[in-house]
Amino acid sequence: MDARLNLFGNPVAGKSLKHLVAAGKALADSTLPAATRELVMLRASQINGCAVCIDMHTKDAAHAGESSTRLNLVAAWREATVFTEAERAALELTEQGTRIADAAGGVTDEVWAMAAKHYSEGELAALVSLIALINAVNRFNVMTRQPAGDYRPGQHG
């Protein structure tokens, strides 16, 4: 499969992506646990069908020491016993935040309260920002049909 657009070679797309990458680096400096960040990015990417991001986040997470069992079960996290209550709250927030158009009212108060039970206000801000960011990146990649499979851990810094 060939990409419809060279995102980093196009001046407009490249400039936009530069800002998204900078936002991602700022979120990496937050106190939101790295494992949670990767699980959230992986789950949103699965929902959105973003092969590039699924490839990247599974490889980066594995490289950082995440188990293959947990990575393989992200798509079915509700039935899996390998995630903490905090991670489960983040994954539910990710699902509702990614599927806003599918649910009247967006994120429920119950889901927000569960996330707030496990994360500080700063971590919640990072979590919301991360969910919004990965959804934007997913859309860039899906709309332009970016091919996946060749990513190497750490390739993008």
For residue range 54-90, what is the model confidence (pLDDT) as tens digits? 999 999 999 999 999 999 999 999 999 999 999 999 9
- Is residue 1, in this structure, part of any structural domain at all? no
Average pLDDT over the chain, rounded to an integer: 94
- Is residue 2, in this structure, part of any structural domain at all? no
pLDDT attached to residue 133: 97
Torsion region of 50: left, alpha or beta (phi above 0 gives left; psi -120 to 50 gives alpha): beta
What predicted TM-score, i.e. pTM, was given to this entire model?
Answer: 0.94
Please tell me the total count of domains within the chain. 1
Q: Which CATH number fits the domain that encloses residue 47?
A: 1.20.1290.10
- Is residue 126, in this structure, part of any structural domain at all? yes
User: Which contacts qualify for 34-37: CB closer than 8 Å, 24 or more apart?
Assistant: 34/64, 35/61, 35/64, 35/66, 35/87, 36/86, 36/87, 36/90, 36/127, 37/130
Is residue 1's pLDDT more than 80?
Answer: no
Structural domain of residue 131, as residue ranges? 11-143
- Is residue 3, in this structure, part of any structural domain at all? no
Query: Computed from CA positions of residues 115, 70, 48, 29, in that sequence, does the dihedral angle turn out positive or negative?
Result: positive
pLDDT attached to residue 157: 63
Burial 52-88 (b: 16+ CB within 10 A, else e): bbbbbbbbbbeeeebeeebbebbeebeeeeebeebbb
- Mean per-residue pLDDT, 15-35: 93
- Is residue 100, in this structure, part of any structural domain at all? yes
- Is residue 153, in this structure, part of any structural domain at all? no
Q: What is the pLDDT of residues 33-59, one digit of tens each?
A: 999 999 999 999 999 999 999 999 999
